[in-house]
Structure 1
Amino acid sequence: MKKRIIAVIVILAVLVALFFIGTGFQKRMDVVLVDYSVSEDGTEITLDVGIPTSTGYIRGFKDNGSGVKPHYLTFFSTFGGINSPIGAEHSFQLELTSDDTEIYFNRPEGGYELILVKDEETGQWLRPSGIGEENNTIFEATILEIRDNYFLVEPVEGSQELNNADLITVPMKNIGTAPQPNVGDIIEIAYNGEIAESYPAQITEVYGIKVVKEAEQWDLIPMVMVNGELYIDTGHESTVEARCGVMDGEITSEVDGSEKPTKDNQSNFGTGYGYQYGSQEGIIEINMNEKWWVFATEKVLASSELMIDPVAVVSIHNVFTGENANITENEDIRTISNILCGDAWNTEGTTDCLSNIEITINEETYKYHSDCGTFNDNVNQNYLSLDDERKAVVNAIFSEYISLTATEVPAE
């Protein structure tokens, strides 16, 4: 019985291996030429090819002609099945001689189609009249987003596609060799010329994609110009919402070279953006999508001066005992800051509570009575009364640093 099981396993393994290898010898008869280039000495041509459908890959070709004969190229599928990417290639090199004049691709029923021909007068390799215009449409576009199985692109200025749609989704199919496309890159897209009318518009049949211009590093980093100083995104969120969200001003100066956030960065900057100066020189905090993000000058970024998590200095003082302390835990600072930044302040003046605690945050001082759970803002003549739950939270934080004695300590 055991020998029979082993025999069955061996047979299955052989069948799987035969299938895996056999699929690699299946001919692809729908290969199209996306682009090509000839070496300076004319001894080699690089063929960038693709498949017009959404299934299958190419692993290689066989040249059935050379020298004084035309090149008859037969292409083959990858090993492992119709959608297996194992060994997939999109760019192939073909050696040339001075006598070569034509290149053909294999087609159904053993036929071949003329793809490239050599001009006898100029020596240049060209597509035959009609090829390319009939089968391929090529345009350039900038990658705005990369998702699981497609690119979201914007056609470049001057392209016919931009007249039809400013945003197009393009499936990740038949992507050329390195470099691989990234956000901000300009890519060349060869497709069947059909764009589905939707928003964003859609291209479904892609013959080839290749990068024609890589995005420069600075193109990918959000930056702002504030009062003549350029600040660059550090990628870090501020630990506190300083000054209770009061912004020093709106960003109306240059943002990435324009007078407002560019379309590329609009999703990052969001709406209602503004700025405030950070906890050290050369740092500002930008309010984007209800969060504060840390931006720094090139000088700060290039030095060791950058505090990755700038923390506001928060000090507390018991007016009766004379105790002083700084709140050091970021979470405690955030909690107190969020409470003080709430919208429940009463603007009719301050209360008569005999405050026992003074808290200073970002150079603004508030008085607090731990028994009443009331903050007084003497400068702006406002007060904030906490409910029992929030009073318990604030008192628990303060008691970690100083005592909450609320009456005068008798002299000894």
Structure 2
Amino acid sequence: MKIRIKKTAAIVFMIFLLTACGKPGRPIVLPAGEEVISISVSDGERTGYSPDAKGEADEFISDFFNVLADMEITNKESITDAPANVDYITINLNCEDKTTTLFYYKDKGTEYVEQPYQGIYKPDAALGLYIMEMLDAADNTKETVTFQAKIIESSNDAILVKPVDGSLELNSADKFSILNEEKHELQVGDLIEVVYNGEIMETYPAQLGEVYEITVVERAGADAMWDRIPMVRVNGKLYYDTGRESGETGRCGTMDGEITSTVDGTEIPMEDDQSNFGSGFGYQYGKDDTIEIYMNEKWMIFEYRDE
């Protein structure tokens, strides 16, 4: 009988040790307070940021951080990358070289902060107030991205631009088509600044999600000569270079026509079988209102567009 009691006691003691050494109850892991340069919070629809002004930002970040550092440790365990079955708000503590991510939520009226695989904590009520303040401020601001570009085509309705060297947009596409809704008086060669919401459509030329503002940074000189996109006029219609090479096989050896005259690269061809990039090139009609021109031992696709 005594032996059984000892075995039972030993089992209970082992369970206690395993429970005590598990993940629940561990302190939160935060960067050093002085390393945090900004804080952002997001509820999935809005993203709020700590203030920009230096003095105001330092005070806000310090107060926010102190609440996180002084939270009550609970015995709840974090076993997922993000909280499950609750609506949560993501908190990012941004440092120069890393970001620490936490999650804030309410469960049965109680506020919690969860650090994935580390622990779950009870914050002071001030944390929720800070978070709501940041999200409310986000309602009055738009997330914007700005880049500069040179205009390579312009009309009253739209412009075609090439992002300047070094811009992130140039990594996505070398040409962007942008609506000219404000009817800006723009000309080829103008340097403009575009403010938009950061979204880039997977088209070619690429298109932007929502454009907020277009500003002229530098006008092209009155005597500046900027080449237009290569184009050719056939049967009264203007065809534009797409930059794409045709993959057509089994091609007929007979040409449908030939470019017989040319104008300067800054001009628009006005006569049939005339281009702004040279003459003597044969062409054949392609699919979907295109023509394919044989030049430099390649068949290049030109597509019809409204002038």
TM-score under structure 2 length normalisation: 0.29
Higher relative contact order (CA 8 A, sep 6+): 2
* Structure with max Cα Rg: 1
Q: Using structure 1 for the length normalisation, give the TM-score.
A: 0.23
